[in-house]
Structure 1
Amino acid sequence: MQLALARPAPLLLAALLLLCAELSRAAVTAQQCGPVWGTRHWGPFDYRRPVAGAGGVGIVENAHFTPWVEAGLGGKTGPIGGDLNYTLRAFPNHHRALVTMSKVTRRENKDRLPGMEWPVECYFERALRFAKDDVLVYMLYAQWLGERKRAGEARILLDSALPLAGENPQTHYNIGLIYFELGDHEAARRQALKAKDMGWPLTTLADQLKAAGHWPVADGAAAQPAASAPVGPLPASAPARPG
């Protein structure tokens, strides 16, 4: 007798497909980007909690991540990719090294520099696997994805970063700036308001949202120009009306 198998509900099927995709992505990451732990390489250590002595971050930075390297001008022990690779193997979530790697690969229009063991995205993936609670890793990775027109993936990372921002107004504000870069004005507005309510003084994000027409009008503020204001387009020689 042939059994009649019920079709999975659409939502369940979608969830299963997402789970399979996530498991596949994790397997690809482990296979293509290499293990973070259990290697003969020195480390890994958490960049946020540098240990003293032989494991100090200064040891690695003095040898491989000098100001010259950080500025993207060249390597210390060889090609710059090799020094960045060593730094990020020892400290997978070394924020400044991730920024430099992103900057140099963008400038060179390359996905992998001489001396790097993996493509640049692997270093973000490795950082995320190593420090899943590091909000800056999510933000830097999201920026990198956004620069490559992968806004959907970037927004997922930022959404995951929000709970990690805690009560830090600067972090919420910076997440809002990245949302704005991705074109998600509503999420950027929420973050700007949250940071403002928490006492963050900078208004750059609010100014950008105002210019884009995505900032709330204050209570009682007139939506139209005052009666005494000139009607119609301004003369070509007149300065732009402040927004």
Structure 2
Amino acid sequence: MKHRLLACTLAACCAHAGAAECPPYVKHTPGGDYTSEEDRSGLSVVEKFHFSRAVETLTQGMTTSLGGDISYTLEHFPNHHRALASMAKLGLRLKSAQPVGARYTVNCYFERAIAFAPHDVTARMVYGSYLLATGQDAAALEQLDSASRLAPDQATIQYNLGLMYVKKKEYDKASAHAQKAYALGFPLPGLKNKLKAAGKWKEPPPAAMEAQEAPKAATEPAVPPVEQPSGE
């Protein structure tokens, strides 16, 4: 019920702000692709004055409101992963599609990031988490599917997709993503437990079990699962 009310509130805000523009990001200095080592050369200047730890954790703004400082950061680095996550959290906290001080809506910031850097898997994952939190399951699944195609060997993406398909009661797909997530070394048992509760979990064959015990090294983006199983 809480998520449904939140989704309705945000939907109303989005409708109200529907006429707001969402222009594409135009690269300027300092700024650019957050995942580019060359572009990140100017990142410290932006973060020093607008994206401190206090801003990231939504404790206090630096030069203006929280929305203003995060917005400034995203004006320079549209796919700044941590700034995108903070903007999403701020929108959820305020129950607003466009937090105070932000130049655009939360959705717009993600759309600008993905349009500028369509290869950025983490930006899509964070967007998927935000969409799920606001009850936009179909759109969340679309972003996670896109992320999976770009990075099929990232365990967190496979786990999140498994959770999404469990929610949709598409257990064959959920199981397939679960098997892949655990084979890649994902540590949380929540997805497995959900499939067990639905009577849909199957233990992987011995060869797959051995692979799970010694998963290959992989770099995972610092993005939590879209649904944290409580007490698991």
TM-score, scaled relative to structure 1: 0.66
Q: How many residues matched?
A: 187
Of structures 1 and 2, the one scoring higher in RCO (CA 8 A, sep 6+) is 2
Aligned residue for 1:45?
A: 32
Shift of 1:187: 3.5
Aligned residue for 1:205?
A: 191
Which residue identity lines up with residue 33 of structure 1 in the other structure? C
Shift of 1:155: 1.4
Aligned residue for 2:76?
A: 90
Correspondent of 2:93 among 107, 113, 138: 107
Conservation of the 8 A alpha-carbon contact between 1:142 and 1:158: yes
Task: Kindly report which structure 2 residues correspond to 1:47-62, keeping only aligned pairs within 5 A, or say none.
Answer: 47-51=34-38, 55-62=41-48
Correspondent of 2:154 among 168, 176, 179: 168
Decide whether aligned partners of structure 1 residues 77 and 187 sit closer, same or farther in structure 2, where only a CA change above 3 A counts: farther
Distance 1:100 1:191 in 2: 28
Conservation of the 8 A alpha-carbon contact between 1:165 and 1:172: no
**Secondary structure, aligned partner of 2:21:** helix
Distance 1:140 1:104 in 2: 13
Aligned residue for 2:182?
A: 196
Decide whether aligned partners of structure 1 residues 131 and 218 sit closer, same or farther in structure 2, where only a CA change above 3 A counts: closer
Task: Kindly report which structure 2 residues correspond to 1:154-165, keeping only aligned pairs within 5 A, or say none.
Answer: 154-165=140-151
Distance 2:158 2:122 in 1: 11
Decide whether aligned partners of structure 1 residues 46 and 179 sit closer, same or farther in structure 2, where only a CA change above 3 A counts: farther
Which residue identity lines up with residue 51 of structure 1 in the other structure? E
Deviations along 1:163-188, one digit per CA (max 9) or x if unpaired, are: 11143334433444455567655443
Which residue identity lines up with residue 96 of structure 1 in the other structure? R
Task: Kindly report which structure 2 residues correspond to 1:134-145, keeping only aligned pairs within 5 A, or say none.
Answer: 134-145=120-131
Shift of 1:141: 1.4
Indicate the percent of aligned positions where both proteins have the same amino acid: 39
Shift of 1:210: 2.1
Unaligned stretches of 5+ in structure 2? 1-17, 206-232
Conservation of the 8 A alpha-carbon contact between 1:64 and 1:87: yes
Distance 2:164 2:45 in 1: 32
**Secondary structure, aligned partner of 1:215:** coil
Distance 1:88 1:217 in 2: 44
Deviations along 1:163-218, one digit per CA (max 9) or x if unpaired, are: 11143334433444455567655443222211223344443322233234432267
Conservation of the 8 A alpha-carbon contact between 2:31 and 2:77: yes
Unaligned stretches of 5+ in structure 1? 1-28, 220-243
Decide whether aligned partners of structure 1 residues 37 and 208 sit closer, same or farther in structure 2, where only a CA change above 3 A counts: same
Aligned residue for 1:232?
A: none
Distance 1:152 1:91 in 2: 27
Aligned residue for 1:36?
A: 25
Mark the structure with the bigger radius of gyration. Answer: 1
Distance 1:183 1:48 in 2: 35
Aligned residue for 2:115?
A: 129
Decide whether aligned partners of structure 1 residues 193 and 37 sit closer, same or farther in structure 2, where only a CA change above 3 A counts: same
